[in-house]
Structure 1
Amino acid sequence: MSIAAIESVLQQMRVTSLQTGIAQPAAEAAEPGGFAAELRRSLDNISTAQTKAYGQAEDFEMGKPGVALNDVMVDLQKANVAFQTGLQVRNRLVSAYQEIMSMQA
């Protein structure tokens, strides 16, 4: 796996986070930190999306006013897509690590 492929996946994660409404604040986006910091921010965004979706689902179950079923379902699907994207990034990182470890010195 090449660096370009990993950067492509990170770009896809950024686009997904913008589309799902869990984009990071502008001040946080400007902070440097490299790959590890970007990965941490992506994982935090996934966690935030899941927490928000599950909280909204609980609010719907409790009968709180202003919580529509369609909004709950859409948010749960957004959280699921974000999680699946993160899972695929993890799989590709593990694959790249295994490929690098199997290289001859």
Structure 2
Amino acid sequence: MQIKGPGVSLYNQMQAMAQQAQGPQSAQRVQRPEPFGPASVNQSQSDFGVMLKGALDTVNGLQMNARGLASDVENGVEGVTIAQAMIAASKSSIAFDATVQVRNKVVEAYKEIMTMPV
């Protein structure tokens, strides 16, 4: 596919992020001749699970970091400023809010799929 015009850099960024999201496992995957045969394994489910766990671990890490910096400020640890603690708390809050929004969208999509007539 050839992309022309001002969207080229955006397309390149999206391709780079897609490759990065696939991780090092994508180079080791073997293409099977029968895509729906009994020998094929759906890698997208395990990749999504790994990606989701990684995202939740990142949010958890941001929250732990913010909590630690706030504790350091309260205890008067040298080298830790209130500004650093507030920035960490803001990052943590934004990441958590984004996670909640994603969860809400997933639940909404699940409910919509469950109400579809068969």
Give the structure-1-normalised TM-score. Answer: 0.70
Which of 1 and 2 has greater Rg?
Answer: 2
Partner deviation per Cα, 1:68-102 (whole Å, 9 max, x = no partner): 11111000000000000000000000001001101
Match for residue 95 of structure 1 among 104, 108, 113 = 108
Distance 1:31 1:67, change over 3 A: farther
Taking only the aligned residue pairs, the percentage that are identical comes to 35
The equivalent of 1:30 in structure 2 is 24
Identify the structure with bigger relative contact order (alpha carbons < 8 Å, sequence gap 6+).
1
More helix per residue:
1
How many pairs were matched up? 80
Q: CA RMSD in A?
A: 2.0
Tell me, in whole angstroms, the C-alpha distance in 2 between the residues paired with 1:58 and 1:31: 39
Distance 1:31 1:99, change over 3 A: same
Question: Please, which runs of 5 or more residues in structure 2 have no aligned partner?
Answer: 1-13, 27-45
Tell me, in whole angstroms, the C-alpha distance in 1 between the residues paired with 2:82 and 2:71: 11
